[in-house]
Amino acid sequence: MSAAARNATGPRVLETGLALAGRRGGLCIPAVLLGSLILVAALAGPLSSRVAGFRYDQPDPLSPLLAPGGVSVEPHPRSYLADDALMDALDSDGDDVLACSRSAGGRYYCPELEELPGLASEMRRAFEAAGGRSGADRKGWDAALAGVPERMRNRLEAAALDRDSDRVVSRDEWALGTAFLALDGLDAAGFDQDLDGRISRQELVGVPRTRTHLLGTDSLGRDLLARLLYGLRVSMLVSLAAATVSLLLGTLLGLLSGLVGGAADRAFLRLLEVLQSVPFIFLVILLSVFSRDVLKMRWQEAESAALAQAVLLFAALGAVQWFSLARYARGLAVSLKEAPFVRSLAGMGFSTIRLVARHIVPNTVLPISAYAVLLVPALVLEEAFLSFLGFGIQPPYPSLGILLGEGVAHMADSPLLLLAPAGTVLMLAWSLNLLGEELARRLAGQRSGK
């Protein structure tokens, strides 16, 4: 082969290889991304407890709007860091013991710990006033300690909190230094090992541990990563369930109308035109508003009412999204019924039931599936839109729409509260759209013989 031929063949081979790789990878990228999102949503519980370390509904008033990587106090009563000087800061009467009484419910009441929640709130306000998210100046922080009891002041002074000696008390340093203020009656019950109602210096082993929030926290101190994992699962479940309802209703009614034909088919088409002219999103909103009070009366617990609201939402979304799918299924049925191979089989004596079950219905599975895949991202966006407006999933359950609403409310304080759920919605809708378009493209290629 001449050099010119080799030079001409090389680019053609490269172009052919890239084209083949592109065709083979057309489904690969969206399928891998979608599979990863589905896996993450399915494992939201274990991932939330092991990776994030928090529950989606676990608030922490001392840690609102933490930046990514911020720390907060570990609430478990047995998770403490050794601190021999803690008793000196808490013991107001100097008897080297914290005297407590137990309530009927088993909760401990310790008078010397009673002032800690209010002091914690004051310290949080003082920190925000002295600098807040960017860190507090040491002089400004010390000036805010005028009302702090003398026995606690040495633990809260800027010199004690500023561990890296950079003249600024960062939010993490503030959280670590003020962790002992999170002690309350529940922690006291965990300390009292001999159950005598008196916590000695030996029993008061230290201060609560701190934990890291990988993506930070929201305005109530709830871990953003945990809420994002659960929100993805809730939104995907609602969208997939609604798509399933639409698929069943649209496919069944559309195929039945197309196969029956005649006056029934014409009446069905007129009905679809009327239904599609109605603004369905307002119907879903009205249904959500009027059903909310009824569900709260039927289910007193907030979680049960929210779950019932989610079930009603996906049923309503599925009930109003089947119109276009039914029209598409009806067109497939009409075209297949008039196809030459179906006419030939009918002429050979095949029964109508056998033609429908063995030839018409199987040939509609792939195109309807591709169409249904394209329906899911629209349902994801609709669920997010409804939850963003407050008509979708209700607290305490998170969803991507609820997270978007919270992110918009605090966008100036923590942009990640908006960017994280928005990016998740974008990836989910993008992967589903690519997957549906690729399935439709391959279906068209098969029909054209390519």
Average pLDDT, the chain: 77
The pairing of beta strand 101-102 with beta strand 97-99: unpaired
Distance (Å, whole) CA 339 – CA 356: 13
Q: What is the pLDDT along the chain (450 residues), one digit of tens a residue?
A: 444 444 444 444 334 333 433 444 556 887 888 888 889 888 888 888 777 677 788 787 767 888 888 777 765 555 566 677 788 888 888 888 888 887 766 677 788 888 888 888 888 778 877 776 667 777 777 777 877 888 888 888 888 888 787 778 887 788 778 877 877 655 666 777 777 878 888 887 776 677 788 898 888 888 899 999 988 988 888 888 888 888 888 899 999 998 888 899 899 989 888 888 877 777 777 777 776 666 666 665 666 666 677 777 777 777 777 888 898 899 888 888 888 888 887 778 777 788 888 888 888 888 888 788 778 888 888 878 877 777 777 777 788 888 988 898 888 888 999 999 999 988 988 888 888 777 777 776 665 554
Answer yes or no: are the C-beta atoms of 234 and 44 closer than 8 Å: no
Q: Please give the CATH topology (third level) of the domain spanning 224-447.
A: MetI-like fold (1.10.3720)
**Angle at which helices 224-260 and 400-409 pack, to 10 degrees?**
130
Q: How far, in whole angstroms, is CA 412 from its chain's centroid?
A: 21
Smallest CA-to-CA distance from 219 within 72, 73, 61, 69 is with: 61
Smallest CA-to-CA distance from 183 within 112, 238, 240 is with: 112
First to last CA, the chain: 31
Rg of the chain taking only CA atoms, in angstroms: 31
- Write down the domain spans for the chain: 75-208, 224-447
**pLDDT, tens digit (0-9, with 9 covering 90-100), for 287-312:** 777 766 666 666 656 666 666 777 77
Distance (Å, whole) CA 418 – CA 416: 5
The number of beta carbons lying within 10 Å of the beta carbon of residue 429 is: 18
**pLDDT, tens digit (0-9, with 9 covering 90-100), for 141-190:** 777 787 788 888 888 888 888 878 777 888 778 877 887 787 765 566 67
Strand (E) or helix (H) holding 80: strand 80-82
Smallest CA-to-CA distance from 426 within 450, 397, 404, 402 is with: 404
